[in-house]
């Protein structure tokens, strides 16, 4: 097992990529903190993890709210006494052109996707520094590298931000033995991508050299790698999980 007894937080773990990551972490031996704003979904994931014989803590918290995040970290420390891994996965998308995008939508997407990751990093860094060990993985997106017109411009901007946040923190925290990386997925089959028409789905698949959409488990496996000791000499990296759609 690659993560035996590690305490791992996955934000937005109630469904999709976060859920797959939480379950994969549990399979790899981790004690998992399942965070989501959807308490019911988080509880369902926790029940699956418990049935695997692993310890789990479910915490309803909105990552965009620093008070809620700080409370979450306190509860984790009370139960497990440490934090080894943080996966900043919680994210939202919105559609539309720049001219139609409201200031409120811009703020909402940036608050969850970028400030949410900052809030969580800020809350765990002190603990990881004391431990002189820790792994942080931010879930970015191909949209943060290439831009995107399928989503509103705030989405790609937030995803570029979260990738750069990983690089800045990788530099800041390297002296403390903390690795910070990002994963940049594309075209993963989740609720977020379920609204695609068949036509769009086919056109996306035709742009992917591996000839299929990604599964949440494809991202989860990349995250486990970056969160494990196999990746101990990797920091500040943005790992593409996109079937070869972008090779940079
Ligand atoms: N699906 C894709 O193709 C794709 C591609 C690139 C990047 N991503 C990124 O991967 C991550 C997960 O995507 P997904 O497709 O699994 O999304 P999803 O919408 O299926 O799941 C997101 C989860 O985050 C939770 N969440 C939303 N706001 C939250 C908040 N403020 N605090 C805590 N939890 C919150 C939701 O309740 C939900 O359970 C997102 O950051 C997304 O931007 C997804």
176 is catalytic: no
Please give the average per-residue pLDDT across 86-102, as a whole number: 97
Mean pLDDT along residues 169-198: 94
CA-to-CA distance for 155 and 101, rounded, in angstroms?
11
Q: Where are the domains of the chain?
A: 7-241
Residue 146 pLDDT: 97
> For a substitution probing ligand 1, which of 192, 216, 220, 243 has the most ligand atoms within 8 Å of its CB?
192
Alpha-carbon span 82 to 164, nearest angstrom: 26
Give which of 159, 60, 61, 64 is closest to 108, Cα–Cα: 64
Structure tokens at 231: 């990746």
**pLDDT tens digits for 113-136?**
999 999 999 999 999 999 999 999
Answer yes or no: is pLDDT of 192 > 80: no
Which tens digit of pLDDT belongs to each residue from 13-33?
Answer: 999 999 999 999 999 999 999
Give the CATH architecture of domain 7-241. 3-Layer(aba) Sandwich (3.40)
Average pLDDT, the chain: 97
Catalytic entry in 26, 136, 155, 165:
155
**CA 113 from chain center: how many Å?**
9
Which residues have C-beta atoms less than 6 Å from ligand 1?
A: 11-12, 14-18, 35-38, 41, 62-64, 89-92, 112, 116, 139, 141, 185-188, 190-193
Please give the number of the atom of ligand 1 that sits closest to the Cα of 38. Answer: 37
pLDDT digits (tens, 9 = 90+) for 64-85: 999 999 999 999 999 999 999 9
Over residues 204-241, the pLDDT tens digits come to 999 999 999 999 999 999 999 999 999 999 999 999 99
Torsion-angle region of 5 (φ positive above 0: left; ψ -120 to 50: alpha; else: beta): left
* pLDDT at site 37: 98
Q: Quick one: pLDDT at residue 193?
A: 78
Which percentage of the chain shows pLDDT scores above 70? Answer: 100
Question: 81, 134 in Cβ contact below 8 A?
Answer: no
CA distance 110 to 193: 19
At residue 126, the pLDDT reads: 98
Report how far residue 247's alpha carbon sits from residue 210's, in angstroms, rounded to the nearest whole number. Answer: 12
Ligand 1: nearest atom to the Cα of 42: 39
């Amino acid at each position: 097992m690659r993560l035996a007894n590690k305490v791992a937080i996955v934000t937005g773990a109630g469904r999709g990529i976060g859920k797959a990551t939480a379950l994969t972490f549990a399979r790899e031996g981790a004690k998992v903190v399942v965070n989501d704003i959807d308490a019911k979904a988080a509880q369902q994931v926790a029940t699956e993890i418990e049935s695997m014989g692993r310890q789990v803590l479910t915490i309803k918290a909105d990552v965009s709210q620093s008070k809620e995040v700080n409370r979450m970290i306190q509860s984790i420390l009370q139960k497990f006494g440490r934090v080894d891994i943080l996966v900043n996965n919680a994210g939202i998308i919105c559609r539309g052109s720049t001219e139609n995008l409201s200031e409120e939508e811009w703020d909402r997407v940036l608050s969850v996707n970028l400030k949410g990751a900052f809030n969580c990093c800020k809350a765990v860094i002190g603990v990881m520094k004391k431990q002189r060990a820790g792994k942080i993985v931010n879930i970015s997106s191909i949209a943060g590298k290439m831009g995107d017109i399928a989503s509103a411009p705030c989405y790609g901007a937030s995803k570029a931000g979260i990738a750069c946040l990983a690089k800045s923190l990788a530099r800041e925290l390297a002296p403390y033995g903390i690795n910070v990386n990002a994963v940049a997925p594309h075209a993963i089959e989740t609720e977020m991508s379920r609204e695609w028409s068949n036509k769009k789905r086919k056109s996306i698949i035709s742009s992917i050299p591996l000839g299929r959409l990604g599964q949440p488990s494809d991202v989860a496996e990349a995250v486990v790698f970056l969160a494990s000791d196999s990746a101990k000499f990797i920091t500040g990296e943005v790992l593409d999980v996109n079937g070869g759609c972008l090779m940079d």
